Amino acid sequence: MIISILIINNYGKPRLSKFYDQTPVEKQQAVIRECFTLVSKRGENMCNFLEGGETWGKETKIIYRHYATLYFIFLVDASESELGILDLIHIFVETLDKCFENVCELDLIFHMDKVHFILDEVVMGGMVLETNLNQILAAVDEQSKIEKAEHPIQQGIRDVFNKKIFSK
């Protein structure tokens, strides 16, 4: 089972943290700090898996990938496959990349609702729901259509600011 999903920038600022168990906020903050400290010290040529830890316990593993300025960190129990989780991280990042056209840290900050929706399409309740990129993108597109239908005035304002109305 996936215990937690964290996205942390190179400076240790969490950009997304999602815990799938009843973890007190103080312990969540300690886990985030400890994960970043351990992961940021590791070199590029080192393995992307860590086992055990003072804060999260001996049966828990950290599986992470470092993309540009962001660390994508999954805390999982012993029943999860390390390579499967690495593939899941890649699918999640690839989905973000397709949705935001070269995803960056600012996309995560300003479109947090969409990031959470994408994450909920991939993982819910600590269990993997979907790993097919096309299925995830179809769900995101459907959600975008629903949002546009509910807020036509906002879409019109966005079109004006994006100069879609005035461009030839």
Query: What pLDDT digit, counting tens, does each position of 96-150 carry?
Result: 999 988 888 998 899 999 999 999 999 999 899 888 999 999 999 898 888 878 7
pLDDT tens string 20-33: 988 899 999 999 99
Strand blocks (E) in the chain: 2-9, 14-19, 49-51, 61-67, 70-76, 123-124, 127-128
pTM of the model: 0.83
Report whether 3 contacts 63 (CB < 8 A): no
Count other C-beta atoms under 10 Å from residue 15's C-beta: 19
Which pLDDT value is given to residue 163? Answer: 62
Give per-residue pLDDT as tens, 3-62: 999 999 999 999 999 999 888 999 999 999 999 999 999 888 888 888 866 777 778 899
